[in-house]
Amino acid sequence: MSRRDPDPSSLLPLTPAVTHILLALATGDAHGYAIAKEVEELTEGQIRMGPGTLYGSIGRMIDAGLIEESPRRPRSGDDERRRYYRATLLGRRALERELRRLERVVAVARARRVLGRPEPA
Amino acid sequence: MTSAERLWRVLVRLFPAETRREYGEEMLRLVRDLERDARRASPLAHAAFLARLVADAVVSAPGEHARRRRRRRSELGTPSPSMREDRMDTLRADVRYALRAMARQPAFAIVAVLTLALGIGANTAIFSLINTALLRPLPVERPEQLVSLNNVSLNLPAISYPNYRDFRDRNNSFSGMMVYRYTPFALSVNGVNERVWGYLVTGNYFEVLGVKPALGRFFTPDDDRSPGAHPIAALAYDCWQKRFAGDPQVIGKNVIVNGRNFTIIGVAPQGFYGSEIGY
């Protein structure tokens, strides 16, 4: 990463859209459509990203240094003109801190019995 | 071209030009992919997708504009925007939006501009009238010291001459007291008869107001002493110009007012039209 790395904690809390995009990119590089589908699946259809929301978020995340365009193109016959994105080190760290933060929130909620046992998967 | 593509080509105009250049193709590709999925699901899902597309553009475009502005600033190396600059940005955007809206509906814009023009014109005319009638002080020596006394018991702005004399002679409050009556006259000049408005005034009228004549002299308290002895008149400046062609030899000439001979003794200064405002 060439840019000056800010402290990932300074970017918290992440918005749901940013969190889910980072989650979608956690397993590997992906293009816009793949990200949108992954986010829709991860949230069970609660977050459906249109082109404006998705590319707006992508632009903001690139500005913040959380993701970057990936030079790699999968060979598996995919449309070569599609642009692929990947999480930067900062992005991965920020996601981890955000998830830890949420974990603490959930732990507090359980301790105070606001939230019951985890639902079976 | 599919319906979603056509719709998106319109909606994408809401986004900044940089965003369209950078992500335009990607966005359109995503629209195609998502539409394909929606079509496969059901016609209802397709309709819902089109509605979501509109909402998506309307909700996310303003944020994109803000982000591009921030980016342009940071590229220029300018410091982060202050609240004031932000407001100026909003103002500029509002003005641009208004101009675009007017350009789209020129007929409405013309009607709106004409309505405003008429409204402003009418207000200006009314203000000019009010300014002359109510706001501008009388062109006298100390207009702020003028007080108008009226008889309230009669509900008429009237007073008898002997009563006035008593008030004037026992007055300790004012530097002077005069009375006048604004009234129409039959004026006859060189055989031309006209109905004009003028003032019947006491001898100290001009002295109390502190107005100096443009020509000749004005009345003095001495002129009041013998009633009917030597009827005299002073002309307004405009009357002198209009009916006597500004002739300086007018002093001493006679005019007929209400069928009686009056001697002209002086001409009032330009802009003085008496003690009533608005005439």
Each residue's pLDDT tens digit in chain B (279 positions)?
888 999 999 999 999 999 999 999 999 999 999 999 999 988 888 988 998 999 899 888 888 998 888 888 777 765 555 555 566 778 888 888 888 888 888 888 889 889 999 999 999 999 888 887 777 778 888 888 998 888 777 667 678 889 899 999 999 999 999 999 889 999 998 888 999 999 999 999 999 999 999 999 999 888 888 887 789 999 999 999 999 999 999 999 999 999 999 999 999 999 898 888 765
Q: In this predicted model, which residue has the larger pLDDT, A49 or B190?
A: A49
Cα gap B32→B9, rounded to integer Å? 12
Question: How many angstroms away from the CA of A111 is the closest CA of chain B?
Answer: 38
Q: How many CB atoms lie within 10 A of CB B161?
A: 11
Mapped onto helix, strand or coil, the DSSP state of residue B64 is: helix
**Mutation to test the B interface, candidates A40, A47, A54, most B Cβ within 10 Å:** A54
Question: How many angstroms away from the CA of B33 is the closest CA of chain A?
Answer: 7
Task: Reply yes or no on whether the pLDDT at A38 is more than 60.
Answer: yes
pTM of the predicted structure, to 2 decimals: 0.49
Residues with Cβ within 8 Å of residue B45, at least 6 apart in sequence: B38, B39
For residue A77, the surrounding DSSP H or E stretch is none
| Residues B198, B232 contacting (CB under 8 angstroms) | no
Cβ–Cβ gap A52/B30 under 8 Å: no
Q: Give pLDDT, residue A1.
A: 47
Q: Which of B26, B33, B64 has the CB atom closest to A83's CB atom?
A: B26
Q: Give pLDDT, residue A120.
A: 67
State the pairing for strand pair B215-216/B192-201. Answer: unpaired
Q: Give pLDDT, residue B144.
A: 86
Residue whose structure tokens are 């998502």? B34
**Mutation to test the B interface, candidates A18, A33, A81, most B Cβ within 10 Å:** A33
Q: Which of B15, B52, B60 has the CB atom closest to A48's CB atom?
A: B52
Considering chain A, what is the average pLDDT of its residues? 87
Residues 38-57 (A) with a CB less than 8 A from some CB of B? 48-56
Cα gap B36→A44, rounded to integer Å? 19
Q: Mean of the pLDDT values across residues A95-99?
A: 95
Q: Report ipTM for this prediction.
A: 0.86
Q: Give pLDDT, residue B133.
A: 72
Q: Give the pair of three-digit tokens for residue A11.
A: 């970017």
Q: Give the pair of three-digit tokens for residue B182.
A: 């604004």
Whether residue A13 has a cis bond before it, omega within 30° of 0: yes
For residue B261, the surrounding DSSP H or E stretch is strand B260-267
Q: Which of A31, A52, A79 has the CB atom closest to B57's CB atom?
A: A52
Q: Which of B232, B172, B167, B171 is nearest to B201 (CA)?
A: B232
Backbone φ and ψ for B56, nearest 5 degrees, come out as -60, -45
**A32 contacts chain B (CB < 8 A):** yes
pLDDT bin (cut points 50, 70, 90) of residue A2 is very low
